[in-house]
């Protein structure tokens, strides 16, 4: 029996050429690029630097990361930089976590036309939330929305849905008042939101892709448009936890891969109903089929901002001024915020243990010494990614 290390890069390097032949013209360019990058990540193909330890004399290479957003070994540095930028924009108020899904009959259409359908879903959900939030019986103004697209279930089945972080408050249309929900645990009615998303998405799809709309069964527009919403706390703690959990999450990390043997991959997944971890074992090609379904089209932005968090800085400044006037401040002390930031940094370091250029200090793999001497540089043998979408 043959056993391999539980690393996605090892699997890809071992089977990608055979997988490419099996797929032929069906293999999408974005999937092909993901196979190339993940297989080459932190290998000589990506280039790197050779060092010698000043203590024990060990000579070793440190190879570059691929930077592909689907790679489970990358993006620690990206996470840190992104969080720093967003931390400055966060408003000192409460937040809600909202999830919106699409029914099963639509998933085949989503997979066949990913860019158009993902874009339509994100716009429709954001507009629907804003329409309800602006009603006087709810927020009576415009909140801030950060939205993240995810496409997977725990078992890597195709399940497109969006996560939203919504401010528990809004600016009125005249820009003079900050309004908060009457109930800290209630933003908008989720059943009404589900119906609104369903109706607006159907109308937009009929205009954008009439042939797709006509091909869908009637039950598409009846059941399965589920939304979920709950209060998610106040200030830096809620936001940083949200960002760490959702923004840079990918379909599968190496930590969830249990074993690779006899042409199969076994990975862990969490059953949300029972809260228990379970195992899923797949043929290695079936496993790659499932994983690659969640590689997004080139240039597609899976994180988007609406309402107060749109590109307009004026709205954010107005919201901050109004919050200061009513003396709403975060409950966390500076020490608690610093501790949470440190935890986020630790998470980022786990995701990217060999961060490439910025502040990276190589250590000897034999003795752990940081006193190393640079010997030479190896140029990458594969073309660099020229265009990368946001997180």
What is d(CA 292, CA 30) in angstroms, rounded to the nearest whole number?
9
Q: Give the pLDDT confidence of 166-184 residue by residue, as tens digits.
A: 999 999 988 888 999 988 8
E strand intervals along 264-386: 264-271, 276-283, 303-307, 372-378
What pLDDT, on a 0 to 100 scale, did the predictor assign at position 32? 96
- DSSP calls for 72-106: TT--HHHHHHHHHHHHTT--SSEEEEEEEE--GGG
**What is the three-class DSSP state of 319?**
helix
Q: What's the mean per-residue pLDDT of the chain?
A: 84
Mode of pairing for the β-strands spanning 257-261 and 3-4: antiparallel
* 242 vs 224, higher pLDDT: 224
The model's confidence at residue 387, banded by pLDDT at 50, 70 and 90, is: very low
Closest to 118 (Cα-Cα) out of 157, 78, 147: 147
- Do 188 and 98 touch, CB atoms closer than 8 A? no
Average pLDDT, integer, range 114-131: 98
- The region of weakest confidence among 14-18, 74-78, 270-274 is 74-78
Backbone phi, then psi, for 18, in 5-degree steps? -65, -40
CB atoms within 10 A of CB 136: 9
Sort 380 into a burial class: Cβ within 10 Å, 0-12 / 13-18 / 19+. Answer: middle
- Do 177 and 205 touch, CB atoms closer than 8 A? no
What pLDDT, on a 0 to 100 scale, did the predictor assign at position 107? 95
The model's confidence at residue 90, banded by pLDDT at 50, 70 and 90, is: confident
What pLDDT, on a 0 to 100 scale, did the predictor assign at position 361? 81
Q: Give the pLDDT confidence of 306-364 residue by residue, as tens digits.
A: 998 876 656 666 666 666 555 444 444 445 445 544 554 554 554 444 444 445 689 99
In the chain the domains, ranked by start, together with CATH numbers, are: 8-69+354-378 (no CATH), 79-251+294-350 (3.40.1310)
Residues contacting 349, CB < 8 A, separation 6+: 76, 355
Q: Give the pLDDT confidence of 354-367 residue by residue, as tens digits.
A: 444 445 689 999 99
N-to-C CA span, the chain: 39
Give CA 192 to chain center in angstroms. Answer: 27
What pLDDT, on a 0 to 100 scale, did the predictor assign at position 83? 72
- Do 344 and 337 touch, CB atoms closer than 8 A? no
């Amino acid at each position: 029996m043959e056993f391999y290390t539980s690393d996605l890069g090892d699997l890809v390097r071992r089977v990608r050429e055979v997988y490419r032949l099996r797929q032929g013209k069906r293999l999408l360019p974005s999937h092909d690029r993901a196979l190339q990058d993940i297989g080459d990540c932190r290998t000589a193909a990506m280039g790197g630097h050779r060092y010698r330890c000043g203590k024990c004399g060990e000579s070793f290479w440190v190879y570059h990361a691929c930077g592909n957003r689907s790679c489970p070994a990358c993006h620690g540095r990206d996470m840190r930089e992104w969080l720093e930028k967003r931390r400055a924009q966060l408003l000192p108020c409460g937040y809600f976590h909202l999830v919106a899904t699409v029914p099963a009959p639509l998933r085949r259409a989503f997979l066949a036309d990913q860019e158009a359908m993902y874009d339509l879903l994100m716009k429709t959900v954001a507009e629907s939330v804003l329409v309800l939030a602006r009603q006087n019986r709810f927020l009576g103004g415009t909140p801030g929305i950060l939205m993240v697209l995810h496409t997977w279930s725990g078992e890597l089945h195709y399940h497109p849905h969006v996560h939203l972080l919504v401010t528990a408050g809004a600016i009125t249309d005249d820009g003079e008042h900050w309004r908060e929900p009457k109930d800290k645990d209630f933003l908008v009615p989720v059943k009404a939101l589900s119906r609104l998303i369903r109706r607006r998405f159907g109308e937009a799809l009929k205009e954008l892709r009439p042939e797709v709309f006509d091909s869908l069964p009637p039950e598409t527009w009846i059941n399965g448009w589920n939304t979920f919403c709950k209060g998610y706390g106040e200030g830096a703690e809620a936001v940083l936890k949200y960002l760490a959990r959702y923004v840079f999450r990918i379909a599968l990390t190496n930590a969830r891969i249990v074993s690779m043997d006899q042409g199969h991959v076994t990975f862990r997944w969490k059953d949300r109903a029972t809260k228990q971890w379970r195992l899923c074992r797949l043929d290695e090609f079936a496993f790659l089929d499932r994983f690659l379904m969640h590689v997004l089209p080139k240039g597609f932005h899976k994180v988007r901002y609406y309402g107060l968090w749109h590109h307009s800085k004026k709205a954010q400044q107005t919201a901050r001024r109004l919050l200061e006037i009513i003396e709403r401040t975060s409950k966390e002390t500076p020490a608690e915020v610093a501790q949470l930031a440190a935890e986020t940094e630790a998470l980022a370091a786990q995701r990217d243990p060999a961060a490439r250029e910025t502040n990276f200090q190589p250590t000897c793999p034999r003795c752990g010494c940081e006193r190393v001497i640079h010997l030479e540089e190896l140029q990458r043998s594969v073309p660099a990614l020229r265009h990368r979408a946001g997180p």
